[in-house]
Amino acid sequence: MKIEIKNKKLSYEIKGEGPVIIFVHSYLWDKNMWRPQIEELSKNYKCIAIDLWGHGNSDSLEDMEVYSLEELSHDIILLADALKINKFNYIGLSVGGMIGANLAINYSDRLSSCVIMDSYSGIEPLETKNIYFGMLGMIEKLKKIPDELKDKIAPMFFTKNESLTQGKLYTSFKKSLGNISENNIQTVVALGRGIFGRISLLEKLIMIKTPTCFIVGDEDIPRPFKESQEMSILVENSLLYCVKNAGHISNLENPKEITKILLEFLNKNSK
């Protein structure tokens, strides 16, 4: 399904009935990454998973140089408004988690609960920011993700074992990097610049009163446990979980444990 937001079509799927959960995926992924969780959670919740701009089946944003996390957060509110959803639970991973922090700070009246997975609301460390911006520049120039970058990008998302053995998750994701259409490349780059050039929200996390849960894979390379721990300390009464045998895409490498945590948290805090 698609819905018009800002004169563009945003792709989304709905499954189940009950309290609403909005899911937002990681950068360079799409809504399908949530299938293991939605399969279970949709038994008691209305699960809505979206594709960010330029990802999955959502439209691209023409001639956009940078698209900020603040803009992405507002898009989630526009989506909820368009679907006539006043209150919802939110689950986001990586950039989805960054959006979640923005929502909890700026749109707290709309959230029943918030789950922030494998994410960080501080600024991107200068060293990795420079690396990522260099990659984005190359992708923008070539209008595709070249093989040499696929080999650098893919291992960031998984455990060492998954990357070394080049398991199903690894190979499928690496292949998907080559399937990004030229039409979507500029939007992917614009979102990347917004993500890795983000401002810090750490000082504002103390404002969050929404029930919040932080989850991170124990082998998350780009967003290590210490970052989630730092955020959790700042959000009063928040929960923090470090999930074993999981990298950056923790919900796919250890789906059973992630789903268990989500169910327990949502059953206590959703409305």
**Residues 6+ positions from 126 with CB-CB distance below 8 Å:** none
Torsion of the alpha carbons at 155, 160, 162 and 163, rounded to the nearest 10: 40
Residues 2-51: pLDDT tens digits? 999 999 999 999 999 999 999 999 999 999 999 999 999 999 999 999 99
The share of the chain scoring above pLDDT 70, in percent, equals 100
Provide the pLDDT for residue 244. Answer: 97
Q: How far apart are CA 224 and CA 248, in angstroms?
A: 9
**In the predicted model, what is the mean pLDDT of the chain?**
97
Among the listed residues 150, 145, 176, the one whose alpha carbon sits nearest the alpha carbon of residue 163 = 150
Residues 79-137: pLDDT tens digits? 999 999 999 999 999 999 999 999 999 999 999 999 999 999 999 999 999 999 999 99
Could you give the domains of the chain?
2-123+200-269 (3.40.50.1820)
Give the Cβ contact number of residue 138 at 10 Å: 15
- Does residue 64 have a pLDDT over 90? no
- Does residue 237 have a pLDDT over 90? yes
- Does residue 271 have a pLDDT over 80? no
User: Can you name the residues that pair with 117 across neighbouring β-strands?
Assistant: 93, 215
Average pLDDT estimate for 211-227? 98
Among the listed residues 94, 93, 98, 91, the one whose alpha carbon sits nearest the alpha carbon of residue 113 = 91
